[in-house]
Amino acid sequence: MSIWKRKPLAQLLAEAADSEKGLKRTLTAWSLVALGIGAIIGAGLFVRTATAAAQSAGPSVTIAFVVAAIGCALAGLCYAELSSSIPIAGSAYTYTYATMGEFLAWIIGWDLILEYAVGAATVGIAWSEYLNNLLINVLHMSPIPFELSHSPFQKIVDPVTQHVTHGIINLPALFIVAVISLILIKGIQESAFINGIIVIVKVTIVVLIIVLGWNFINPANHTPYIPPTDIFVDEHGVGHAYGGIMGILGAAGTVFFAFIGFDAVSTAAQETINPKRNMPIGILGSLAVCTVLYILFGHVLTGLEPVEFFRTDGKEASVANAIIHAMGASYNWLAQFVTIAILAGFSSVILVMLLGQSRVFYSMGKDGLLPKMFSDLHPTYKTPYKANLAILVIVGAFAAFVPGDIVGDMTSIGTLFAFVLVCISVIILRKKEPNMVREFKTPLVPFVPLLGVAVCCAMMYGLGWTNWLRLFAWMALGVIFYFAYGKKNSVLNNPKE
């Protein structure tokens, strides 16, 4: 038994041939660009931009978007090679199993929980915030009480009475996670038409805010554009490097969450016409379009209100609040449109993340690294329903009891770590399997993968020691679980006699 035993490439490709027949190469470069834009524009842009500006970079959050985009592009090129070479369910977990062995495959599979499960919790919390905004500003109803829409670690102080109210549980976030989990168990998926409508609406919102908000930018809010180095202490008592280079790196790690989902482009390699040409166009093209929109959006948002607004009044549902506060009552319709459409968009992002998590659990269950029940299919719906129920408990707990900024940064650092391993696996696979058929090759290996590692590590460094501590604690739990359960039950390491 070896923890470094690799799953044979021939076995993986045989499984792919048996289980994924019928996939046809129909996607063009423009199809991939559209897919990438739809996957990328989600909760991160509308929620994390204000957080990064308030805690780390101020107006220079636009520069942070550029840094995050570079890291994503370098990792995306590595994803493109692996997905075209090993077109199998399981994403980075499967790639690592074939290249670096079982133990590191487990590590990245465990790490993907931070990307998908904790990411879904982050979006669920954002959904809860915008639901309250909808109730107040669109439906003109009373909001859900603070105690029932915030985690126990959050509090609010009445400015008049100084009475402190603590959160108890975030019920709306738990509700949306539960509803979508049950939908996934039943097997109902969004049609391409509905998904396309949501994508168009999300892009339209971003463009409208940029175009209409540009005339309301106050130049004073952009001065200085890169704030002087300082320390900002948030409501949890955690210090963040604010301003200067470290502030930009910290913001890059935070807004990186806005780019999560672009790897959906790379997973479509087996359905792409001429992937050698179209994969880099799809990945880099969607990243380029979204980066331009993100930079312009960040420039407008930080120009509408000063940083202090995003630390206090604009904290929850910052985009809608900034529009109402800075652009006036005549633009209330835009804030309402933003709120309604973002709720729909958030729902689709949660669905994609929970679906991705169930695929990883399903693959790990089949390999014996997680309990086999996670690979059990529902007798009627043919979905991994036990995996979905377990994910409901995990994600529901995070969404109900942990603040959104904490789980958001955990998602970012977890995904960055996964990207680092993906970049390294390209170099290893080039050495160990030089003759393997590659539909697309990452250029300038090992320079591009190593640069990807460097940029991703820089963003991880910028997220601060508290997030590193959370990552190490999470990984330590994973290592304990692997040696206590996974290694003993591994199908690869314990073949049937």
SS3 label, residue 268: coil
Exposed / middle / buried, residue 371 (Cβ in 10 Å: 0-12, 13-18, 19+)? middle
User: What CA–CA distances, in Å, run from 460 to 263, 268, 365, 457?
Assistant: 18, 27, 29, 5
- The CA R_g of the chain, rounded to the nearest whole Å, is 22
How far apart are alpha carbons 338 and 332 in whole angstroms? 10
Whether residue 8 lies inside any domain: the answer is: no
Among the listed residues 92, 119, 102, 101, the one whose alpha carbon sits nearest the alpha carbon of residue 421:
92
The DSSP result for 94-151, as a single string, is HHHHHHT-HHHHHHHHHHHHHHHHHHHHHHHHHHHHHHHHIIIIIS--PPPPGGGBS-
Q: Are 285 and 32 spatial neighbours (Cβ–Cβ below 8 Å)?
A: yes
pTM of the model: 0.77
Domain extent for 322: 24-487
Alpha carbon 462 to chain centroid, angstroms: 17
Nearest to 256 by CA among 37, 61, 81: 61
* Calpha distance 52→251 (Å, rounded): 5
Cβ count within 10 A of residue 435: 5
Q: What's the confidence (pLDDT) of residue 60?
A: 93
- Parallel/antiparallel/unpaired status of strands 155-157 and 239-242: unpaired
Please state, in angstroms and rounded to a whole number, the distance separating the CA atoms of residues 91 and 260: 14
The span from the CA of 187 to the CA of 380, in Å, is 10
CA distance 206 to 318: 14
Is residue 217 classed as helix, strand or coil in its secondary structure?
coil
Tell me, what's the pLDDT at 271?
63
| Residue 9 included in any domain | no
pLDDT at 316: 55
For the chain, percent helix, then strand, then coil, each to nearest 5?
Answer: 70, 5, 25
- What is the three-class DSSP state of 27? strand
**What pLDDT score was predicted for residue 62?**
94
pLDDT the model gives residue 23: 47
As given in the structure block, the two tokens for residue 359 are 């695929």
The C-alpha atoms of residue 88 and residue 90 are separated, in whole angstroms, by: 6
Rounded to whole angstroms, the Cα distance separating 454 from 419 reads 11
- Which pLDDT score, from 0 to 100, does residue 118 have? 80
The answer to whether position 6 is within a domain reads no
Nearest-CA neighbor of 250 among 464, 60, 54?
464
Residue that the structure tokens 């799953």 belong to: 7
In a domain, 29, yes or no: yes
Establish if 393 belongs to a structural domain: yes
In a domain, 492, yes or no: no
Q: Which residues of the chain have pLDDT under 50?
A: 19-23, 190-191, 497
Taking the CA atoms of 6, 10, 16 and 18 in sequence, report the sign of the dihedral they define.
negative
Give the whole-angstrom CA distance, residue 352 versus residue 354: 6
CA distance linking residue 411 with residue 119, whole number of Å = 5
Asked if residue 495 belongs to a domain, the reply is: no
Q: Give the count of domains, the chain.
A: 1
The domain spanning residue 325 has which CATH number?
1.20.1740.10
348 domain residue, yes or no: yes
Residue 157 three-state SS: strand
